[in-house]
Structure 1
Amino acid sequence: MSSTVGIDLDGWQRLVDGLREAVLVVDPAGVVRVRNAAAADRFPRLCPGERFDVHVAGRQHDLGEGWNAWYFTDSALDHAHLRLAGGSSRQDTLKTIVQLAAELLGEHCVAVVPATRDRLEWWRCGGGEPTVARSPRRASTISEVLTGTSTLTRITSLGEGNWGVPEDFGSALAVPLGVGGALVVLRHGDFAPNDVERIRLFGKHAAVALESASRLTEQQRTIDILRSALLPLPLPEMRGVEMASVFIPAHQRALVGGDFYDVHPRTDGSATFALGDVCGHGLEAAVHSGRVRQSLQALSLVETNPVRLLHLLNTSLRATGSKLFTTIVVGELVPLSSGGARLSLASGGHPAPLILRTDGSVQEVSAPGAIVGILSDVRFHGEQVTLAPGDTLVLYSDGFTEARAHTDRTELFGEQRLRTVLKECKGLSAEEIARHCEEAVLKWLDRDDHDDLALLAVQAV
């Protein structure tokens, strides 16, 4: 029957279903007729048709003719649920779970959750800072909760496990905490019926929060692993040269971009180095730059001549079917026994490298060539230069020269301004040159949007 003495039960059900507080509609005979989802969580045994028997304070609303609506709010538990929902990592969420459970539900709390290598983690809190311990997967006293065959277990003896709580506890209850986990609340006194339901409800919310945080933690771990393969490697130490770099992606939250640089030393003291720029932005460009770097590293094992290396790289990238093209400068570095270094360079559509000589002059290294990865019929030209001790070769991406002034977004930083900045670096080390260039372009931008920025400084010593 959906309507009795003017009470529309279906209407009340629709009205209260979306409320966060627990609501029960009780008829004149004291029988529950309507229960919303929050009340089902808080009073699972109090189904419609059961006699209203609640021993906690609630707010009564007279509906007339002996009918009443009862509203129950647990502000402390609601606040705890909000705190749980804000967890972003598995570790922080587990700490919050045991802290809140110890504060609101008992003197001590232990969260037992699956860990790697078939072990269990025991997160414990007794009012202080949460601690964690690990053990083999043995916890017979709460095994039914851990396996999901029970939704509530009363514990009379702790048994094995890293409980870390006083042995003279009075009562302990265990409820599920997600798949393979359990939340154990301990206190010196006994639990009242309402305490049991609060622990059940807290356990449900804690399990949801832990599952969500665990998923986010695993996603972040996957992202970090994938990102690490796309980030530049630390520059190697090499005899006869010092190197420094600048790498600032356009999307700094992602930490990756389409610009890249690499240096691959060989056992004979020489090295292949490169700096490039994949067209596009963000993750797609970063993934393609990773493909370029991996191809170049593999190809440099069998070919050292920069011109032939670019031809092989072009063929390799075209075979992937990608529509993104790359501009790049590839070089071979050979330290000279008399001091300085000999460089062989080839460029694929990239801004020409610059050399800062010890007298403060700046020279361009012209090695024209087509973009890489799109056309089958391409031409590349090589150029050889010698760096005397103190001379510095600077490779850079167009993010530097095309950086737009914060005062006038139509004005570019430009190659001439970059040359001027390099002239100011006379007598500086490779690291100081890289930092001076970085500071100059960032001051020019003044926190405005920009393209990826990459620079590699190679100084003969």
Structure 2
Amino acid sequence: MNWLRSPCPALVVDAAGAVHGMNEAAKTLFPQQVSSDWREWQHGESVRVAERTYAAHRVDNGDGSATWWLLDETDLKLERERTALLTRMSSALMTSLNPERCMNVVAELAATHLADEALVIAPQSDHGHPITRCVRGGTPTHELQRIDVEGVVGLSEALRGFPPVPSRWIDPAAAPEWLARDGRSIVVTPLPGHGVPAGALVLVRKDLQFSENEEAFARLFASRAGVAMSAASLFTQQSVITERLTRDLLPPVLRRYEKVELAGRYRAAADSERVGGDFYDVHELPDDELFVVLGDVCGKGLDSAVQTGKVRTALHALLQVVDDHDQMLRALNQALLTTDQSRFITVVVGTVRPVAEGLHLTLTSGGHPPPLVVRTGGTVEPARTRGTLVGILPEIRTTTDEVLLRPGDSCLLYTDGIIEAVGGPLGDEEFGEERLRRALGACGGMPAEALVEHVHMLAANWVGAGVHDDIAVVSITAPRRRSR
């Protein structure tokens, strides 16, 4: 009979409920006479026999007897449990893109599910190796430590090896004090990342040895932990690079000079971005003079911000060799035509010179809205300067205006993000230059800082939660004279 030679244990139970026969596999599983436990079996349920798990299936034979087949599902059940555990571990690993917190999660998961103690060691930094240590049931601890990785078998290979090198066993007697103070079984497993090693995982057990299956499961966990640590490290590196580049692209913080008040405000078009196409700069010249520039690069976002960086660098270089506004804008126009004909700019430049009466301003516009002069008494007048766009035509024309600011007077430089801000009561009306002038009429004598803050607030309130362009505004103010 074929069932007698089947590798699957089978028991035949007669109509009286007694075991009538067993095949060879069942006799091996039940070396003694089978107990009456089978009477409690239910068809399809899992039963435990000799430390293994079987699915019990009953087949009626038609003569009152029945055959119980025991399908070994120990490995399948273990694999399902491990798959579910890996899924939960993966979800926990992806909860943070901070490298230190990610290492803490890896160490805590490893100590909870794989070993009595776990160490996560990241590649060396300037101040040593980042190490996170966690014992089962404890809280992870993180530190920077200078260690001799060559003195630990397999550790140096795990930290620098890719593709991943095999796990390595460490003799507890030869383990250094910092690695494992009390361990019977120690294994080092690489943490492979995105094309580079993310670090090494050290698992320590105090009582039991690692089985072959447990070591294989630890490698699966390590592969996922390495990806998570690598992602956190790459994200941090990119964030640092982005922060440094963004810092250079943002307008500078304006300082206050003894004879000139300066203030500026900037807001990118998208709330999710910090940089855009508007910019301003202030450069110091001999004899207490200042060079002020405010401009707007065609477009929005990062591409425009990169172009503003090029324009600001070009203007700074031209300032060293050209002191005439018209010549400077012509040279900038040629530079933009040569390097990038797809983007043009509008710009206004000004030279500020302290005089006995207050401040003497020389203003030149290249296709930009003319600055507005706000007198102490509330009069608002545009500077008489006009010019063509910069970077779109072979030749440009500009006119320069001379303005005297008496104590308390201000000159407001702004981009079209102010006057073209769409919003208002119905949400579809531009703020407009006329509305800006009327608002500035109530700002006579304001300090520079208060003036730019007021204008910025007006535009922000007008737009509300709507879409807006980049916004930049600078105030040049003649300080009021202090009374004796």
Corresponding residue for 1:226?
Answer: 245
> Are residues 1:361 and 2:375 paired?
no
In the alignment, the residues of structure 1 paired with residue 56 and residue 382 of structure 2 have an alpha-carbon distance, to the nearest angstrom, of 85
Q: Percent identity?
A: 32
Equivalence map 1:8-407=2 (5 Å): 70-71=76-77, 72-74=80-82, 75-117=84-126, 119-126=128-135, 127-135=138-146, 138-141=149-152, 142-146=155-159, 147=161, 149-157=165-173, 159-160=175-176, 163=179, 167-178=181-192, 179=197, 181-193=199-211, 195-336=214-355, 338=356, 340-405=358-423, 407=425
Q: What whole-Å deviation, never above 9, does each CA across 1:20-54 have from its counterpart, x for those lacking one?
A: xxxxxxxx989xxxxxxxxxxxxxxxxxxxxxxxx
1:356 is displaced (CA, Å) by 1.2
Secondary structure of the corresponding residue to residue 299 of structure 2: coil
Secondary structure of the corresponding residue to residue 292 of structure 1: helix
Q: Check the 8 A contact 1:239/1:269 in 2, yes or no.
A: no
Distance verdict in 2 for CA 1:356–1:214, change over 3 Å: same
Comparing 345-354 with 416-425, which one deviates more in the overlay? Answer: 416-425
Q: What whole-Å deviation, never above 9, does each CA across 1:65-92 have from its counterpart, x for those lacking one?
A: 8766634224444322111123323333
Instruction: Give the number of equivalent residue pairs.
Output: 408
In the alignment, the residues of structure 2 paired with residue 56 and residue 123 of structure 1 have an alpha-carbon distance, to the nearest angstrom, of 36
Distance verdict in 2 for CA 1:139–1:97, change over 3 Å: farther
- Residue identity matched to 1:143: S
1:137 is displaced (CA, Å) by 5.4
In the alignment, the residues of structure 1 paired with residue 404 and residue 177 of structure 2 have an alpha-carbon distance, to the nearest angstrom, of 69
Q: Check the 8 A contact 1:236/1:263 in 2, yes or no.
A: no
Comparing 326-335 with 76-85, which one deviates more in the overlay? Answer: 76-85
In the alignment, the residues of structure 2 paired with residue 98 and residue 57 of structure 1 have an alpha-carbon distance, to the nearest angstrom, of 31
In the alignment, the residues of structure 1 paired with residue 397 and residue 51 of structure 2 have an alpha-carbon distance, to the nearest angstrom, of 84
1:181 is displaced (CA, Å) by 2.1
Distance verdict in 2 for CA 1:404–1:263, change over 3 Å: same
- Residue identity matched to 2:81: T
Q: Check the 8 A contact 1:61/1:68 in 2, yes or no.
A: no
Cα RMSD between the aligned structures? Answer: 2.9
Q: Check the 8 A contact 1:118/1:137 in 2, yes or no.
A: no
Corresponding residue for 1:447?
Answer: 465
1:359 is displaced (CA, Å) by 1.0
Q: What whole-Å deviation, never above 9, does each CA across 1:370-405 have from its counterpart, x for those lacking one?
A: 000111121111111111111111111101100111
- Residue identity matched to 2:364: A
Q: What whole-Å deviation, never above 9, does each CA across 1:100-119 have from its counterpart, x for those lacking one?
A: 22333334322112133595
Distance verdict in 2 for CA 1:227–1:137, change over 3 Å: farther
In the alignment, the residues of structure 1 paired with residue 170 and residue 328 of structure 2 have an alpha-carbon distance, to the nearest angstrom, of 71
Runs of 4+ deviating beyond 4 Å: 55-69, 157-163
Distance verdict in 2 for CA 1:162–1:265, change over 3 Å: farther
Q: Check the 8 A contact 1:88/1:217 in 2, yes or no.
A: yes
Q: Check the 8 A contact 2:250/2:275 in 1, yes or no.
A: yes
1:308 is displaced (CA, Å) by 1.9
Secondary structure of the corresponding residue to residue 120 of structure 2: strand
Distance verdict in 2 for CA 1:416–1:405, change over 3 Å: same
Comparing 191-200 with 272-281, which one deviates more in the overlay? Answer: 191-200
1:247 is displaced (CA, Å) by 0.6
Q: Check the 8 A contact 1:258/1:286 in 2, yes or no.
A: yes
- Residue identity matched to 1:128: T
In the alignment, the residues of structure 1 paired with residue 201 and residue 113 of structure 2 have an alpha-carbon distance, to the nearest angstrom, of 13
Q: How high is the TM-score relative to the length of structure 2?
A: 0.77
Distance verdict in 2 for CA 1:424–1:108, change over 3 Å: farther
In the alignment, the residues of structure 2 paired with residue 423 and residue 155 of structure 1 have an alpha-carbon distance, to the nearest angstrom, of 83
Secondary structure of the corresponding residue to residue 124 of structure 1: strand
Corresponding residue for 1:39?
Answer: none
In the alignment, the residues of structure 2 paired with residue 136 and residue 154 of structure 1 have an alpha-carbon distance, to the nearest angstrom, of 16
Secondary structure of the corresponding residue to residue 181 of structure 1: strand
Distance verdict in 2 for CA 1:306–1:59, change over 3 Å: farther
Secondary structure of the corresponding residue to residue 418 of structure 2: helix
1:283 is displaced (CA, Å) by 1.6
Corresponding residue for 2:38?
Answer: none
Secondary structure of the corresponding residue to residue 430 of structure 2: coil
- Residue identity matched to 1:92: R
Secondary structure of the corresponding residue to residue 115 of structure 1: coil
Secondary structure of the corresponding residue to residue 229 of structure 1: helix
Distance verdict in 2 for CA 1:158–1:210, change over 3 Å: farther
In the alignment, the residues of structure 1 paired with residue 229 and residue 128 of structure 2 have an alpha-carbon distance, to the nearest angstrom, of 18
1:94 is displaced (CA, Å) by 1.9
In the alignment, the residues of structure 1 paired with residue 246 and residue 177 of structure 2 have an alpha-carbon distance, to the nearest angstrom, of 38
Distance verdict in 2 for CA 1:246–1:205, change over 3 Å: same
In the alignment, the residues of structure 2 paired with residue 132 and residue 435 of structure 1 have an alpha-carbon distance, to the nearest angstrom, of 45
Distance verdict in 2 for CA 1:401–1:66, change over 3 Å: same
Q: Check the 8 A contact 1:134/1:162 in 2, yes or no.
A: no
The correspondence for 2:453, drawn from 431, 435, 440, is 435
Distance verdict in 2 for CA 1:395–1:59, change over 3 Å: farther
Comparing 349-358 with 299-308, which one deviates more in the overlay? Answer: 299-308
Q: How high is the TM-score relative to the length of structure 1?
A: 0.80
- Residue identity matched to 2:347: I
Corresponding residue for 2:65?
Answer: none
